[in-house]
Amino acid sequence: MLPFPIKRRRKEAAVAIDPGAPHVVFPDICIFLVERRMGAARRGFLTSLAQRKGFSVAQEYSGAVTHVVSEQNSFTDVLSWIERKTGKPMQSAEDQMSPHILDISWFTESMSSGKPVPVEATHRLGILGSQVSKDKDALSTVAPYACQRRTPLTHHNSEITEALEILGKAAAFQGSEVRNLAFSRAASVLKSLPSKLQSAEEARNLVWCGGHCQAVIQEILEDGVCHEVEALKICEQYQCMELLTGIFGVGVRTAERWYKDGVRKLRDLENPNIKLTADQRAGIEHYTDLKQPVTLQEARHVERLITDALHRFVPDLEITMTGGFRRGKQQGHDVDFLITHPSEESLNGVLKKAVDWMDSQGLLLYHHTKVRSRVLAQRRSTHMDGHETCYAIFALPSLDSMRCEAGAPGAHTWRAVRVDLVVTPYEEYPFALLGWTGSKHFERELRRYSWHEKNLSLNSHGLYDTQKNCSIPATSEEEIFALLGLDYVPPPYRNA
Binding residues for ligand 8DG, per CB under 6 A? 323-324, 329, 332-334, 336, 385, 435-436, 438-440, 443, 460
321 touches 296 (CB < 8 A): no
If contact means CB under 5 to 8 A according to the sort of partner, which of ligand 8DG, Ca ion, none does residue 438 touch? ligand 8DG
Catalytic residue among 77, 103, 289, 334: 334
If contact means CB under 5 to 8 A according to the sort of partner, which of ligand 8DG, Ca ion, none does residue 439 touch? ligand 8DG
CB of 323 to Ca ion, least distance (A): 3
Radius of gyration, alpha carbons of the chain: 25
Sheet with 463-465, edge to edge strand ranges: 456-458, 463-465, 470-471
CA atoms of 161 and 253, how far apart (whole Å): 25
423 touches 372 (CB < 8 A): yes
If contact means CB under 5 to 8 A according to the sort of partner, which of Ca ion, ligand 8DG, none does residue 449 touch? none
Per rule CB under 5 A, is residue 165 in the interface with Ca ion?
Answer: no
Active site residue 400: no
CA atoms of 323 and 293, how far apart (whole Å): 14
Name the residue nearer to ligand 8DG (CB basis): 128 or 278: 278
Residue 156 gets which letter from DSSP? S
Per rule CB under 5 A, is residue 303 in the interface with Ca ion?
Answer: no
* Kind and range of the H or E run holding 320: strand 318-321
If contact means CB under 5 to 8 A according to the sort of partner, which of Ca ion, ligand 8DG, none does residue 71 touch? none
Name the residue nearer to ligand 8DG (CB basis): 84 or 440: 440
Name the residue nearer to ligand 8DG (CB basis): 99 or 332: 332
If contact means CB under 5 to 8 A according to the sort of partner, which of ligand 8DG, Ca ion, none does residue 7 touch? none
CA atoms of 83 and 93, how far apart (whole Å): 14
CB of 101 to Ca ion, least distance (A): 37
Query: At how many degrees (to 10) do helices 252-260 and 236-245 cross?
Result: 130
If contact means CB under 5 to 8 A according to the sort of partner, which of Ca ion, ligand 8DG, none does residue 460 touch? ligand 8DG
User: 188, 194, 197: which is closest to 220 by C-alpha?
Assistant: 197
CA atoms of 225 and 4, how far apart (whole Å): 8
Active site residue 289: no
Active site residue 385: no
Interface characters, 307-326, with Ca ion (x: CB under 5 A): ----------------xx--
CA atoms of 312 and 241, how far apart (whole Å): 42
Per rule CB under 5 A, is residue 420 in the interface with Ca ion?
Answer: yes
Name the residue nearer to ligand 8DG (CB basis): 256 or 443: 443
3-state secondary structure (DSSP) of residue 141: coil
User: Residue number with the shortest CB distance to Ca ion?
Assistant: 323
**Alpha helices in 53-127, H assignment, sequence order:** 75-86, 104-113
List contacts with Ca ion (CB under 5 A). 323-324, 332, 334, 336, 420
Provide the annotated active-site residues.
334, 336, 420
